[in-house]
Amino acid sequence: MSNPRKIGFIGLGIMGRPMAKNLIKAGHSLTVYDIVPAALDELRAAGAAIASSNREVAEKTDLIITMLPNSPHVKTAILGEGGVLEGIRPGSVIVDMSSIAPLASQEIEPEVRKKGAAMLDAPVSGGEPKAVEGTLAIMVGGDEGVFNSVKDVLLSMGSSAVYTGPIGSGNVTKLANQIIVALNIAAMSEALVLATKAGVDPEGVYNAIRGGLAGSTVLDAKAPMVLAGNFKPGFRIELHIKDLQNALDTAHELSAPIPLTSAVMEIMQALKADGLEKNDHSAIARFYEKLAGVEVRKVEKV
């Protein structure tokens, strides 16, 4: 167990709520803020103190965690009016666990440093289930000494916290993760739709290949969902679109072509056009199902 800390937590969405609760379970004193009253009520019931602004969170804590949808939200929370930097004290640490553009992290960090504070970018992988379990994979950029000073806190929310390099490196690592996950789901979907169209039981195909080279964490997490026709989100298509847009923007700035990412982005855009953006990203399979005129589903044994 980590040493008890006074921690601020900003952003109590689908990921932030369970992450904040795990910090409370680990014995930390938590002050939270969100613009959604119901989220604040839920954390109050779990034992957190409620702040009236981002600034107040910073005034009352020395480690401030942000978990917000995208770059503009993080910039507003930290740099904006009533933001974290208006209340932050020298020696404090901001850990932004949002998945945002690496360039945004690199723009915010010097402003944090001017206040005598430090900032890490520490996005996560694992979706809501692993946020609830406290087994997220956390990838961290920034000063390595600062990382080491908060690593025990991060491990209250994740099963791993890995230092990846200077500020922005955490989000570059997350973009790499999101590219691999998206392309894995697309490849799985193509394969299972092909099997279904050929009259082969897709569950049998999944069970046959999962132990071989084609097996992966993604396959084991997403194939059962598709076979059950369960597209309830652990990670919504609209959020993966956001991440892939950040990947494409970053890649274009660096002149690093990522053509397969562009292709799967267009698949997700087609699903969004069909009104499926709130589905889990396993619903990439529905794009292929529509093209082939079949559904990949578990065959009920008689």
The amino acid that residue 18 corresponds to is P
Instruction: Taking each helix axis as running N to C, give the angle between helix 71-79 and helix 102-114, from 0 to 180 degrees, rounded to the nearest 10.
Output: 10
CA–chain centroid gap for 60, Å, is 26
Q: Per the residue annotation, which of 115, 174, 222, 242 is the catalytic one?
A: 174
Contacts of 194 (CB under 8 A, 6+ apart): 292
Helix, strand, coil abundance in the chain, percent, nearest 5: 55, 15, 30
Is 115 an active-site residue?
no
The Cα–Cα gap between 6 and 31 comes to: 8
Which residue in 103, 100, 96, 138 sits closest to 120, CA to CA?
A: 96
CA–chain centroid gap for 178, Å, is 9
**pTM for the complete prediction?**
0.90
| Tens digit of each residue's pLDDT (9 = 90 or more) over 4-41 | 899 999 999 999 999 999 999 999 999 999 999 999 99
Output the furthest CA–CA distance in the chain (Å, rounded).
69
- Residue 1 pLDDT greater than 60, yes or no: no
- Specify the long-range contacts of residues 275-278, CB closer than 8 Å, at least 24 apart: 276/231, 276/237, 277/236, 277/237, 277/238, 277/241, 278/233, 278/236, 278/237, 278/238
What mean pLDDT comes out for the span 38-55?
A: 97
Q: What is the reported pLDDT for 278?
A: 97
Catalogue all structural domains in the chain, each as residue range(s) with its CATH number. 6-167 (3.40.50.720), 173-292 (1.10.1040.10)
What mean pLDDT comes out for the span 90-111?
A: 97
| Tens digit of each residue's pLDDT (9 = 90 or more) over 223-273 | 999 999 999 988 899 999 999 999 999 999 999 999 999 999 999 999 999
* E-assigned strand segments in the chain: 6-10, 29-33, 49-50, 63-66, 93-96, 118-121, 124-125, 136-141, 158-165
Q: What is the reported pLDDT for 120?
A: 98
- Residue 155 pLDDT greater than 70, yes or no: yes
| Tens digit of each residue's pLDDT (9 = 90 or more) over 58-79 | 999 999 999 999 999 999 999 9
**3-class state of residue 226 by DSSP:** helix
